[in-house]
Structure 1
């Protein structure tokens, strides 16, 4: 596979602008010759996560979470699709454990690698706020709303602020509605990049 298409996905200018992936993640994707569409997807979700954590931190400065973890998790959550490429265009969860194992094999700490395995579930009682934020970024980048996921984050917001649930819900709804406004542009950016250069799809 030519790396030109992958480099384009990692660096192409967009409107609205999408931040580049962290350098260590970009190098990882280049080393693995990841599908360009995967790189584009990770870039879109990572940028959404950047906007999300900025907005949440601004509205709820007392909510404890590790921004670095969230952004790394968003940038790598689907890395297992390097192996399970079919899940870039269809359903499947095999990429979750595969991505976790791939990151561990590349020397990534378990606490950072876990997002690849956990991003599609938010029901465990010990789920972290960082996990919730990564899962939420992976939904709202394309304007998908998931009530149960949002309700769990609202609970954390209430704990941090002392607000009533309806107040936290309204604040979060405003944040997510704003982020969803650019979903079509992000989806179009992802679609411009092929799943497989060789197949041209």
Structure 2
């Protein structure tokens, strides 16, 4: 029996079916989508204007390019980023939503939005990945928007990510229960 994955937004599920996404990719995207929702719920307390729909859609489709570059389901690579962006555009997804396929690995690029940072953060946090530079950028954006001290946001974010990380073994097991092909 295959482990159940969290549900995806209908539009994302339809796209994944249309590109014949492998089960492991669909599972991964569902898990990152779930973590993104948890992060967004906490961020709401800071009064930061965030496009929730965009972050959730971005989390649910950020790796769709791995349906084209399937080798990147098993080994690191970045070919899926551009391919995913182009794939989403070809399926009529607006650029404001398709961009996450191309931006989730480059949070330090000029013009990076808080939404881009949150999708990247969810993509790391789902498996208990901690990236100091990424977290520092999220802290700075949230603290500036909320008008509070960075250390306050850092402590709250660290608590949140520690809690998310504690459930990473379950999420990794769910993903691993789905075949790559």
Among 172, 178, 181, the residue aligned to 1:193: 178
Deviation at 1:28, TM superposition (A): 1.4
**Structure-2 residue corresponding to 1:74:** 59
Q: Give 4+ residue runs of structure 1 displaced > 4 Å after superposition.
A: none
Unaligned 5+ residue runs, structure 2?
A: none
Deviation at 1:125, TM superposition (A): 3.2
1:106 corresponds to 2:64: no
**Structure-1 residue corresponding to 2:138:** 153
How many residues are aligned here?
A: 181
Partner Cα separation in structure 1 for residue 143 and residue 158 of structure 2: 14
Q: SS state of the match for residue 129, structure 2?
A: coil
Deviation track 1:160-198 (CA, whole Å, cap 9, x = no partner) reads 2222221111111111111111110000000000011xx
**Structure-2 residue corresponding to 1:37:** 24
Partner Cα separation in structure 2 for residue 67 and residue 128 of structure 1: 13
Q: SS state of the match for residue 20, structure 1?
A: coil
**Structure-2 residue corresponding to 1:26:** 13
Pick the structure with greater CA Rg: 1
Unaligned 5+ residue runs, structure 1?
A: 1-7, 197-201
Among 90, 104, 107, the residue aligned to 1:122: 107
